[in-house]
Chains A and B, each alone.
Chain A
Amino acid sequence: MQYAPSPPSARPRRSLARFLPQAVLAPSLAATFLYVVVFALWSVWIALSNSTLLPDYSYAGFIHFAELWRNHRWTIAYTNLFLFGTLYVIGATLLGLLLAILIDQRVRAEALWRTIFLYPLAISFVVTGTVWRWIFNPTSGVQQLVRDLGWAGFTFDWIVRRDLAIYTVVITGIWQASGFAMALFLAGLRAVDPDLVKAAQIDGARMSRIYLRIILPSIRPIFIAVMVILLQFAIKTFDLVLALTSGGPGISTTVPAIYVYDLMFQRGQLGEGAAAAIMVLLALLLVLVPYGVWIGWQRRRERAHG
């Protein structure tokens, strides 16, 4: 909004026009700052305080963290977060990419597919988790169905097996998020320069080779973005697990968010709950810091080249 020098009488209005956009931004910024920064720091404070059943803000050091890591259930929850996070991100990324390549072959009614594939993400996870609980249930779901079809020895009882139940969470998670990955990949595939592909086709390269050598490398930034977004979905996972397994059987599918929920409401342990919450935030930093470094490196490289 740069104009020629203005007559003096117009000045107050100009400065108002400069000041106003900043002023109207303030409430949104303040709310976000409060939610993210103030309450997160407050969490840190509670984690380091003597709070147990009641808040007590005197400094206690790292006793709650020590308690937390002595707790077998917590180590299971944290391990599950990494196991689930890894398999879920890889699975949803690959399936999403596959679906995107499929739809990229000009299938009919493309917008329709995109919406159907995105529905799992648009619908309450409490509801979809409940449905999948039913599908995995040995007496009502897939196992019974296949047995009724004639294969009497078929077993698919992962959801009641302590060692395998976490994989039902992985399957449900992949089902829910792969449409999201697909939509982003599809947008990326559409942005690839068609001349590059045509040139390769004229040279006689096969489609599979063109995808591997030309198309996929050129959408690398989308891979990274999809994986980062999926990772933070994984870290937030709460309602899906609650509806699917409630952390069971036993404690085998507990994830950190469920652990904190139980600490707060069943045992009233504020300090330990906050300490667990801080560990979740650290897991997020583990994802975001490398991503930030990568972004910075990319920018510097771009600047150096162009």
Chain B
Amino acid sequence: MSMRSKTQPVAGSFAWLAALLMFFPIFWMILASFKTEVGAIATPPQLIFTPTLENYRDILGRADYLSFALNSVIVSFGATALAILLAVPAAFGMAFYPTARTRGTLLWMLSTKMLPPVGVLVPIYLFCRDVGLLDTRTALVIMYTMMNLPIVVWMLFTFFKEMPKAIIEASRIDGANVWQTIVHVLLPLVLPGIASTALLNIILSWNEAFWSLNLTAHDAAPLTAFIASFSAPEGLFWAKLSAASTMAIAPILVFGWISQRQLVRGLTFGAVK
């Protein structure tokens, strides 16, 4: 509802200031990751220093860091692939063949996203223990899929809903069969929507910490569990912890920056386009 036509210098500088304050903690951590351990805790804090890659070398040199990172990649991509696979047909069906109950079904699914995971922790832990899924990547893939499925279905639904339905009928009239319609007409249209939904799901799974801390110990533990297990940063290890943390969030920072619109749309559940 901006009714002002000119850029407001006062509001602009306030926005700058607010954004700086918002981003400062993350910026400070990235900065610390390039300092020496002594430099990172020096007082007054060093703003000008000779950057070092020593912390990154140390962290990457740890044999287990790569295994944590690999777990993060496998679990978040696996859970995303599975969720997309289940959700695409469901969302497609609801968007193109709506029934009287479609709206209610969607809202019910979306509302389940509010369930605090702690509410189902005890039985799920027992179940995983009994079937031998504790500390496995399979368990995390299944949990993340179940947890994020409602939001994936919802996101895809909002994308499919915006697609022109006439185009499908037109291609059928032009003589294309079902398969040709899907590959040549539908797929190019829906791919951007699927891609941004997948991006959101990867971010959500990448950051997830409740299930990864509760269901894994070491073998299947992703980066979130690794960072959480680090001893308190009061000690001499702040620079290394910063390096590990920076590497853990770097993919999100970069992907998020490249696909800003999708990130915003995803994080606000499609409310902001």
Name A85-115 residues within 8 Å CB distance of B.
99, 102-108, 111-115
**A residues less than 8 Å from B111 (CB atoms):** 288
Indicate if the CB atoms of B256 and A115 lie closer than 8 Å.
yes
Indicate if the CB atoms of A187 and B271 lie closer than 8 Å.
yes
A25 within 8 A of B: yes
Indicate if the CB atoms of A27 and B22 lie closer than 8 Å.
no
Q: How far is the CB of A139 from chain B (nearest CB, A)?
A: 7
Q: What residue of chain B has the Cβ atom nearest to residue A214's Cβ?
A: B1
**B residues less than 8 Å from A112 (CB atoms):** 260
Q: What residue of chain A has the Cβ atom nearest to residue B110's Cβ?
A: A32
Q: What residue of chain A has the Cβ atom nearest to residue B13's Cβ?
A: A107
Q: How far is the CB of B4 from chain A (nearest CB, A)?
A: 6
Which of A31, A114, A190 is B1 in contact with, Cβ under 8 Å? A190
Q: Interface residues, chain A, CB within 8 Å of chain B?
A: 1, 17-18, 20-22, 24-25, 27-29, 31-32, 34-36, 39-40, 42-43, 46, 55, 99, 102-108, 111-128, 130-135, 137, 139-140, 144-145, 148-149, 175, 179-180, 183-184, 186-187, 189-194, 197-198, 201, 215, 232, 235-236, 238-239, 242-243, 256-257, 260-261, 264-265, 270, 273-274, 276-278, 280-281, 284, 288
Which of A24, A29, A122 is B92 in contact with, Cβ under 8 Å? A24
B6 within 8 A of A: yes
Q: What residue of chain B has the Cβ atom nearest to residue A42's Cβ?
A: B123
Assembled-state Cα–Cα distance A4/B9 (Å): 62
Indicate if the CB atoms of B8 and A124 lie closer than 8 Å.
no
User: Knowing A124-B224, A284-B114 touch, does A133 contact B11 (C-beta < 8 A)?
Assistant: no
Assembled-state Cα–Cα distance A33/B4 (Å): 49
Indicate if the CB atoms of A32 and B150 lie closer than 8 Å.
yes
B163 within 8 A of A: no
User: Knowing A106-B8, A119-B253, A277-B121 touch, does A28 contact B1 (C-beta < 8 A)?
Assistant: no
User: 7 smallest A-B Cβ distances: which pairs?
Assistant: A21-B93, A24-B89, A239-B209, A39-B120, A42-B123, A105-B11, A21-B97
B227 within 8 A of A: yes
Assembled-state Cα–Cα distance A115/B268 (Å): 12
Q: How far is the CB of A83 from chain B (nearest CB, A)?
A: 17
Assembled-state Cα–Cα distance A125/B212 (Å): 13
Q: What residue of chain A has the Cβ atom nearest to residue B234's Cβ?
A: A137
Chain B interface helix/strand/loop/mixed: helix
1/0 contact trace for B80-119 toward A, CB 8 Å?
A: 0000001101101110110100000100010110111111
Indicate if the CB atoms of B90 and A24 lie closer than 8 Å.
yes
| Extra pairs beyond A40-B120, A189-B1, A264-B214 (16, CB < 8 Å) | A25-B105, A27-B90, A28-B87, A29-B105, A43-B122, A99-B18, A106-B5, A111-B264, A116-B23, A124-B249, A175-B25, A197-B1, A232-B116, A261-B213, A264-B125, A273-B122
Assembled-state Cα–Cα distance A23/B149 (Å): 16
Assembled-state Cα–Cα distance A116/B15 (Å): 11
The residue among B28, B123, B224, B227 with the most chain A CB atoms within 10 A of its own CB is B123
How many of chain B's residues touch chain A, expressed as a range? 35 or more
Indicate if the CB atoms of B93 and A25 lie closer than 8 Å.
yes
Which of B3, B26, B145, B227 is A119 in contact with, Cβ under 8 Å? B26
Indicate if the CB atoms of A28 and B153 lie closer than 8 Å.
yes
Query: Which one of B41-49, B50-58, B185-193 is at the A interface?
Result: B41-49
Indicate if the CB atoms of B7 and A257 lie closer than 8 Å.
no
Which of B93, B118, B223, B267 is A257 in contact with, Cβ under 8 Å? B118
User: Knowing A1-B97, A25-B105, A29-B105 touch, does A242 contact B213 (C-beta < 8 A)?
Assistant: yes
Assembled-state Cα–Cα distance A139/B238 (Å): 13
User: What are 15 A-B contacts with C-beta separation under 8 Å?
Assistant: A24-B89, A24-B90, A29-B90, A29-B105, A32-B112, A46-B126, A119-B26, A134-B29, A134-B238, A184-B268, A184-B271, A192-B1, A242-B209, A264-B121, A274-B123
Which of A34, A39, A122, A197 is B256 in contact with, Cβ under 8 Å? A122
Q: What residue of chain A has the Cβ atom nearest to residue B82's Cβ?
A: A31
Q: How far is the CB of B108 from chain A (nearest CB, A)?
A: 8
**A residues less than 8 Å from B257 (CB atoms):** 115
User: Knowing A115-B256, A120-B22, A126-B224 touch, does A277 contact B263 (C-beta < 8 A)?
Assistant: no
**A residues less than 8 Å from B96 (CB atoms):** 21
Q: How far is the CB of A77 from chain B (nearest CB, A)?
A: 11
Q: How far is the CB of B150 from chain A (nearest CB, A)?
A: 6
Q: How far is the CB of A150 from chain B (nearest CB, A)?
A: 10
Indicate if the CB atoms of A243 and B272 lie closer than 8 Å.
no
Q: How far is the CB of A241 from chain B (nearest CB, A)?
A: 11
The residue among B6, B149, B223 with the most chain A CB atoms within 10 A of its own CB is B149
